[in-house]
Amino acid sequence: MFHLNLSTIALSITRDWFGFFVPQQRIFVLYLLTSFGIAWFIWRAEMRKSGKAGEMTIKNFFSYIFNPGLYNHKSSWQDYFIFLINGLLYSGIIIQFILTERPFAILVRKGLLAIFGTPHHPLFTNFAGTVIFTITAALLYDLGVYWAHYMTHKIYALWAFHKVHHSAEVLTPLTLLRMHPIDLALNALTIALLLGTGLGVFSYLALREMTEIDVLGVNAIVFAFYFTGYNLRHSHVWLQYPSWLSHFLISPAQHQIHHSTALHHRDKNLGLMFSFWDRIFGTLYVPKEREKIVYGIDDKERNPYNTLGEMYLNPFKECLDIFRARPAAKGIGSILDTTGVVAGLVGIVLLYLQMTTLAQGGLMAPPSPYLEDLTWPEIYQAQHNGYDTVIIPSGGTEQNGPHMVLGKHNYIVHYTAGEIAKRLGNALVAPVIAYVPEGDIGPKPTENMRLTGTIGVPEQVLEDTLYWAAFSFKQHGFKYIYFIGDHGFNQVPQQHVADKLTALWKKDGVTVANVSRYYDPSNEQVHWLEKQGFKDKDIGFHASIRDTSELMYVHPEGIRKDPITINGLPSGVWGNPSLATKEIGEKMIELKVSAAVDEIRFVRATGKAPPSPYVLNGSAKE
């Protein structure tokens, strides 16, 4: 259930009253200043045209812009008081109950997941996708404004509230905010519905939450519109675009015509930014030249409101009268009369109560892909937002030559598993398993075990750990469990457990796979190094170019510039680590991550893993 929060209310009121300093508000000082600058050039052009070039002084310009007859008009004083009252009433209270786009986005995405499942491959993975989303978001925002505006002009009950805005007898930038709270709420809900739908579709297709290109936190396209003279639309400054541009963008002059009492101007130019909505729905009016305009509701009664109380209460009285009379009307008014509007508002309230809990969580991405960095409710929320995959990485604690720390595998696989999860878009990463087999442990240990610090466990220990970790994730509802090992001795235990659990849990719809291509010694890493001219003896296979370069890239602190050497003991190096570089490491990591992501997507699409290159007669391929 929703709870009012005093600090939230105070913040909302402050944000509204100090909107001159908030880029998301249309009266932001930067938008006002650019409008002021454009007005300067328009005024100079008009002065020259009228033969008054000699009177172009700063004093005369300020008298023109800040005309006392406008700013001291009764209508303007109504604007000022409505601005203050709405800051308390609408921004402080009502807006706390208005749905934002996020609940709608979550609902849309969950519906797509339920109908079509998770996409195998994400779309919009590059900058072009971000550009497309930015354009789409601007179009949906503008369409939301247009459609809400259209309804308030065509539905009697809604016009009762919207005509408060049209009762302005003069236009100043603050006339923008001369709106009844019900009118504001309708705009907010319509925009939220359309934006939320678009955001939900994009996040579903991209397997991540999309972000816009923004300027000061505002969609770049919307910012550009506000920046280029937006506030002149509620002013006496006539800025008319060429006819061809007016069929694409709404000019300030076109919006001034929208406020006209003239019959042929009525219900025209309802758009905010783009005029093609008006062209599509037949409400476009493009002036050929400057027209004389009288502002107000109609030529008989320009402003019927004598007091602020009438402005806030009379629309409710009119709405009640309409409800009682149920007059016949043309077009939408005959279908969506007051009864329909009331039913719609009740439906919105009920929908809000159902969706409030959705708004409490993020749209999709949890704060981190790593389980150990999340709380259990964050993981629970992620699952309900489509995260059905978990990666169980294993590393190892072993000697890596005198130049590299024992946790090499752990650092590398922690990083790569996180990158794999991010690219999949619906995966989380379990903690790295650091205790793994290291070959023979007994009286005749392998060379790794001979050197201090290496920790080895029997293969059965790793298999048991993998089994019970996977069992835990199955119990919590994950459908895809992938083992990724950064160490050669991990591969056979991982494959054994994956095969066993896949057969055991197939009937439950759970897939377990060992992502073998991640570590395949014959993968693209060696081929790439060979193409760069490196010899086999330099490439080696342990604590050499590949793994040293990888650690340089993901954890450079793990490389010793002046390593200690112990006489009489082997170095633990097979290859030439002195040739390692961070740039090579970046390439090695990319090859590993790409191979793993491709294999996981193959498993997801086919339901089975490709043959493992590691299991040869029950032993690891080294």
pLDDT tens digit sequence for 523-579: 688 999 999 999 999 999 899 999 999 999 999 999 999 999 888 888 889 999 999
- Both tokens of 499, joined, read 């095969």
User: Phi/psi at 370 (nearest 5 deg)?
Assistant: -90, 125
Contact 515, 498 (CB under 8 A): no
DSSP 149-215: HHHHHHSHHHHHHHHHHHT-SS--GGGGG---HHHHHHHHHHHHHHHHHHHHHHHHHHTS-----EE
Task: Give how far the C-alpha of residue 512 lies from the chain's centroid of Cα atoms, to the nearest Å.
Answer: 31
Task: Write the secondary structure of 82-129 as one string of H (helix), E (strand) and C (coil).
Answer: HHHHHHHHCCCCHHHHCCCHHHHHHHHHHHHHHHHCCCCCCCCCCHHH
CA distance 301 to 540: 90
More confident of the two residues 293 and 5: 293
Separation of alpha carbons 574 and 451, rounded Å: 14
- Per residue in 259-276, pLDDT (tens digit) is 999 999 999 999 999 999
Burial of 101 (0-12, 13-18, 19+ CB in 10 A): buried
Does residue 530 contact residue 539 with C-beta atoms inside 8 Å?
Answer: yes
Tell me what the mean pLDDT of segment 424-436 comes to: 93
Long-range contacts at 352-357 (CB < 8 A, ≥ 24 apart):
352/2, 352/97, 352/99, 353/1, 353/2, 355/99, 355/103, 355/104, 355/106, 355/107, 356/1, 356/2, 356/103
Query: What is the average per-residue pLDDT within 188-202?
Result: 91
pLDDT of residue 300: 85
Taking only the tens place, the pLDDT of each residue in 26-65 is 889 999 999 999 999 999 999 999 999 889 999 999 999 9
pLDDT confidence of residue 134: 95
- 371-606, superfamily in CATH? Creatininase (3.40.50.10310)
pLDDT of residue 613: 60
pLDDT at residue 102 in the model: 77
pLDDT tens sequence across 583-605: 999 999 999 998 898 889 888 87
Query: Can you say whether the dihedral through the CA atoms of 543, 547, 552, 558 is positive or negative?
Result: negative
CA atoms within 13 A on the CB side of 351: 14
Position 464 pLDDT exceeds 70 = yes
The band of 519, judged by pLDDT with boundaries at 50, 70 and 90, is confident
Position 13 scores a pLDDT of: 72
- CA–CA distance, 212 with 546 (Å, rounded to integer): 38
Angle among Cα 35, 184, 174 to the nearest 5 degrees reads: 30
555 versus 450: which is more confidently predicted? Answer: 555
Task: Note the pLDDT of residue 344.
Answer: 54
Confidence tier at 341 by pLDDT (50, 70, 90): low
What is the bridge-based pairing of β-strands 214-215 and 218-219? antiparallel
Does position 333 have pLDDT exceeding 50, yes or no?
no
Residues in the chain: 622
Q: What percent of the chain has pLDDT over 70?
A: 86
Which DSSP state fits 20?
Answer: G
Q: How far apart are the first and last CA of the chain?
A: 59
CA nearest neighbour of 295 among 182, 151, 172, 183? 172
3-state helix, strand, coil in the chain (%, to 5): 60, 5, 35
Higher pLDDT, 533 or 331: 533
d(CA 133, CA 208): 12
Angle at 122 between CA 118 and CA 127, to 5 degrees: 150
Determine the average pLDDT of the residues in 92-112: 76
Per-residue pLDDT band for 471 (boundaries 50, 70, 90) equals very high
> What is the reported pLDDT for 348?
54
For residues 76 and 170, the answer to whether their CB atoms sit within 8 Å is yes
User: Domain boundaries in the chain?
Assistant: 6-359, 371-606
Torsion angle of alpha carbons 295, 296, 299, 300, nearest 10°? -150
Residue 609, pLDDT > 90, answer no
Residue 26 to residues 91, 194, 432: CA-CA distances in angstroms?
15, 20, 50
Contact between 362 and 209 under an 8 Å Cβ cutoff? The reply is yes
Confidence of residue 444 (pLDDT cuts 50, 70, 90): low
Between CA 487 and CA 489 the distance in angstroms is 6
pLDDT digits (tens, 9 = 90+) for 349-403: 545 544 544 444 445 578 899 999 999 988 988 887 778 899 999 999 999 999 9
pLDDT at residue 335, rounded to an integer: 44
Crossing angle (nearest 10°) for helices 74-89 and 6-17: 160
As a whole number of angstroms, the distance between CA 327 and CA 338 comes to 10
Residue 208, both tokens: 């991540």
Lowest mean pLDDT among 118-127, 280-289, 328-337, 558-567: 328-337
Q: What is the pTM of this model?
A: 0.63
What would the mean pLDDT of 474-499 be, rounded to a whole number? 94
Please report the pLDDT score of residue 619 as a whole number.
40
Q: How many helices (H) and strands (E) does the chain have?
A: 25, 6
Average pLDDT over residues 183-196: 90
Lowest mean pLDDT, pick from 85-89, 148-152, 169-173, 521-525? 521-525
Q: Mean pLDDT across the chain, nearest whole number?
A: 86
Question: Residue 99 has what pLDDT?
Answer: 65
Q: Which residues are registered as beta bridge partners of 616? A: 619
Tell me which residue of 370, 372, 394, 388 sits closest to 463, measured CA to CA.
394
